[in-house]
A and B are shown apart, each in its own frame.
Chain A
Amino acid sequence: ATHSQPPVSPSNVCKARRLYVDFKDVGWQDWIIAPQGYMANYCHGECPFPLSDSLNSTNHAILQTLVHSLDPGSTPQPCCVPVRFSPISMLYYDNNDNVVLRHYQDMVVDECGCR
């Protein structure tokens, strides 16, 4: 079954991709003071058999790719998801026109993995 699938080129493998979120694009520029946007990134790509160490995979994901390689129709590949985030701080006006500085976790995707 594995031989019937096209090989996954390195560019298709699960990894973090660049995504810049501009707060103007979501219409929040009126109340967010800073930053005006930030590099949020996202995860995209395949989790092919065999999973390498660089794909931050779990034991379960390794077994899932094995099962998928044997029967692709019944079991999907593991998902390419964020496994490490970092926080950002945002400065904004609230509804009472107060200035608020708030620290938000899990805002930037630093690493992706197959889970």
Chain B
Amino acid sequence: VPQQRLLLGALGLSERPFAGSRSGRRDVPPALWRIFRRSERVQADEVEACTVSEYGVRGNIIRYVQDQGGVIPGSGMACPGCVDQHLFFNLAALESLEVLYLAQLHIRFMSAARVARLLQSGPTISAVLYKVVRPTLKGADPRANRRLLLSQSVRPGPEGVSVTMDVTSLAESWRRPARNYGLLLELRPLDTDPDQSWAAPSVEASLVAVSLHPQQCRSRQKRS
């Protein structure tokens, strides 16, 4: 075990990642596979190695961070089809030495299958994203604890629709777990037919974090 810890430490890992079955684990995002394949071809190039050209930033670590939030219970009570969803990305795995160069939020809205079948595309939704600056105490006005980040109308079709947003400075603050309250996403239907039952779209969110570990991505001195 101590020897393994030494090896893992050399790879920048504090401990051996979960050693369970791989079944049920999330798929590798295709974009990450593409970057991996490209890195296999250009790995001899030191300068290239410390830059992620796909995102146009420096870095040697790309993390696809899963959303650990969920639908806020009772949020659908406000109106038919209304959904409030908490988005939470745990960035505690970033080492203190790492420099975060990019955090890109991806939100994918998937129309409910039943609605998509009926309408070809779902109804237009108002999607409003807030950052949560502190937890809401019982009885307090929740609007006081959030700051508007994005307000957009989306109309997810059968294939869904995606919104991408740079949240680098915000994600920098999330590196301290005590200051990470996540995001709040409010979905409201804009043009639903009141005679037609409406199902809220499902939301998939992920965060791409690109960082650079200076000790593991040093510039090589040129030899004469």
Q: Which residues of A contact B (CB under 8 A)?
A: 26-28, 30-31, 33-35, 86-105
> What are 23 A-B pairs with beta-carbon distances under 8 A?
A28-B16, A30-B19, A30-B21, A86-B43, A87-B43, A91-B28, A95-B15, A95-B17, A95-B18, A96-B66, A96-B90, A96-B93, A98-B65, A99-B64, A101-B32, A101-B35, A101-B61, A102-B62, A103-B50, A104-B216, A105-B46, A105-B217, A105-B218
B43 to A, closest residue via Cβ: A87
- Contact A89:B36 (CB < 8 A) given known A30-B19, A33-B28, A96-B93: yes
- Contact A86:B66 (CB < 8 A) given known A34-B36, A94-B17, A96-B90: no
B60 close to chain A: CB less than 8 A: yes
Which residue of the partner chain, among A27, A35, A97, A101, contacts B62 with CB atoms under 8 Å? Answer: A101
B63 touches A89 (CB 8 A): no
A98 touches B63 (CB 8 A): yes
Which chain B residues lie closer than 8 Å to A27 at the CB level? 19
A99-B64, A103-B50 are known; give 13 further A-B pairs, CB within 8 A. Answer: A26-B4, A28-B16, A30-B19, A30-B21, A86-B43, A89-B39, A95-B18, A95-B93, A96-B66, A98-B65, A98-B66, A98-B93, A100-B64
Which residue of the partner chain, among A31, A86, A105, contacts B19 with CB atoms under 8 Å? Answer: A31
Q: How far is the CB of B186 from chain A (nearest CB, A)?
A: 26
Q: How far is the CB of A63 from chain B (nearest CB, A)?
A: 20
B43 touches A102 (CB 8 A): no
Q: How far is the CB of A69 from chain B (nearest CB, A)?
A: 28
Which residue of the partner chain, among B33, B36, B64, contacts A98 with CB atoms under 8 Å? Answer: B64
- B187-199 vs A, CB cutoff 8 Å, 1 = contact: the mask equals 0000000000000
B112 close to chain A: CB less than 8 A: no
Number of interface residues of B (CB under 8 A): 41
B60 touches A103 (CB 8 A): yes
Which chain A residues lie closer than 8 Å to B33 at the CB level? 91
B93 touches A105 (CB 8 A): no
How far, in whole Å, are A35 and B33 apart by their CA atoms in the complex? 11
A100 to B, closest residue via Cβ: B63
- Contact A31:B18 (CB < 8 A) given known A87-B43, A87-B46: yes
Which interface residue of B44, B49, B50 has the most chain A CB atoms within 10 A?
B49
Which residue of the partner chain, among B25, B36, B44, B216, contacts A101 with CB atoms under 8 Å? Answer: B36
- B23-66 vs A, CB cutoff 8 Å, 1 = contact: the mask equals 00110110011011001100110100110000000001111111
B18 to A, closest residue via Cβ: A95
B17 to A, closest residue via Cβ: A31
B22 close to chain A: CB less than 8 A: yes
